[in-house]
Structure 1
Amino acid sequence: MTILVVEDDPDIGSLLRRGLGEEGYAVHVVDTGAAALPEARRLAPEAIILDVMLPDHSGIEICRSLRAEGFAMPIVMLSAKAAISERAEGLEAGADDYVVKPFAFGELVARLKTHMLRRSDAPQSGRYLTAAPLTLDLETRIARIGEAETRLTERESALLVVLMRAAGRPVARGDIFDQLWADQGGASLNVVDVYVGYLRHKLGEITPPGQQLIVTVRGRGFMFKADG
């Protein structure tokens, strides 16, 4: 699982990179607000730790921009400002939590894990659906890995949503058919295999060589094979 840290203090950035890495996360650190949004779009991280006082932009505004673009991952803000009004501003901007510096690393990790668990248990909403390394824009039906992207048809996108929401677990052909084709007169179970083939072809255009995102689990159906 990937965490994006936006923090201009090199000591804190190093602490978070090392500590979160030891917790098993892939950690990417940027030290400016200007880099935050492009990096969030590129990585589609599972969570963001965002400093409020950056040298070029306010973390509050970055948080608002992330939410406006449809990013639904947990955002934990860090700040030396402890006033209730300032905490409220961060939460109103869309942050899930507001941690005051100096902070205890263990407490920060515990809060972060709690928010990530809540999000994973809740139905995913917003414009973007992410199962690393893939992000699907639900409005444009563009699937993206890093800078590479491909546009899906409405039915391909619907199939990918079903598989991504069950990432790491096989979905039976019959279950997929019932969700997407049961109301289509004349459709047979074979249509699932046909569209899985279409989807594999398109995702293969943006997936690194040798990597397959949709795998067949013999006797159980198809599974989206997410990282982590």
Structure 2
Amino acid sequence: MEGVPPRILVIDDDPGVRSLLTRGLSYEGYVVEAAADGEAGLRSALERPPELVILDVMLPGIGGLEVLRRLRLTDATLPVMLLTARDQPEQQVAGLEGGADDYVTKPFSFDVLVARVRARLRRRGDEGGVLRFGDLTLDPAAHTAQRAGREITLTAQEFRLLTTFLEQPGRVLSKSVLLDRAWGLGYLGDPNVVETYIKQLRQKLEGAGEARLIHTIRGVGYVLRQGPGERP
């Protein structure tokens, strides 16, 4: 790595997990700090802002989802990866809705976790530029969206989904691809959530009578394009 290596904050009350992640990520070249509870983790994030946070959902005292909420108040773009148990799909959904960028289920493969850490850090480094398509503008750094100058208010999950489309305009994206990229690899919730969020995005993007941008390709997926298309 060139320059100062990225700093990663691990917040987990399991000493074994903290030790594994601290040793493993340090070996990979990252600067790692670990906290055993939410309060210590928040204090560390404020005093020494990290480039990425790995956050356990089940924490004593201040729970992981509350830690996530408070982190988002100070930095809307900070990558946060949740650690959750396999039997907690409702918490995975709540975490993604609350602004988490990804989640990893326990027990996890360290190699897979490292690959996803690299992907998140690489993506954050690429997010400085504003994304545009036609009259639609998305600013990842400011977390704002506009269409023809009209401000559009998006939830964290709607923002991730729209970003996925803007990164690949004109390409048909299947439901499974959208789930992997906007909800995170290994998403265990209801796959029909994609249709729900597509409907919400369309309502917001077409709120002033604008033409449809997200089109349905029946039996295949969805595509961001200009021009006529189905209105299911």
Relative to the length of structure 2, the TM-score reads: 0.52
Does residue 23 of structure 2 align to residue 18 of structure 1?
yes
What amino acid sits opposite 2:141 in the alignment?
S
* 2:87 counterpart residue number: 82
Distance 2:59 2:88 in 1: 18
Give the counterpart of 1:54 among 59, 78, 88: 59
Distance 1:35 1:83 in 2: 24
Contact 2:34 2:41 in 1 (8 A): no
* 1:125 counterpart residue number: 141
Contact 1:17 1:27 in 2 (8 A): yes
Contact 1:5 1:29 in 2 (8 A): yes
Q: Where do 1:45-194 residues align within 5 Å?
A: 45-123=50-128, 125-126=141-142
* Deviation digits for residues 18-69 of structure 1 (CA, Å, limit 9, x no counterpart): 0000000010001011111110011111100000011112101110111122
Q: What fraction of aligned residue pairs are identical, expressed as a percent?
A: 45
> How much has 1:126 moved relative to structure 2?
4.6
Q: RMSD of the TM alignment (CA)?
A: 1.6
* Deviation digits for residues 61-102 of structure 1 (CA, Å, limit 9, x no counterpart): 110111122242210000225343221111111111111100
> How much has 1:5 moved relative to structure 2?
0.4
* 1:28 counterpart residue number: 33
TM-aligned CA distance change 1:8 to 1:89, over 3 Å: same
Q: Where do 1:187-206 residues align within 5 Å?
A: none
Relative to the length of structure 1, the TM-score reads: 0.53
Query: More relative contact order in 1 or in 2 (CA 8 Å, sep 6+)?
Result: 1
Three-state SS of the structure 1 residue aligned to 2:113 is helix
Flag the structure with larger Rg. Answer: 1
> How much has 1:125 moved relative to structure 2?
2.1
Three-state SS of the structure 2 residue aligned to 1:62 is helix
Contact 1:78 1:101 in 2 (8 A): yes
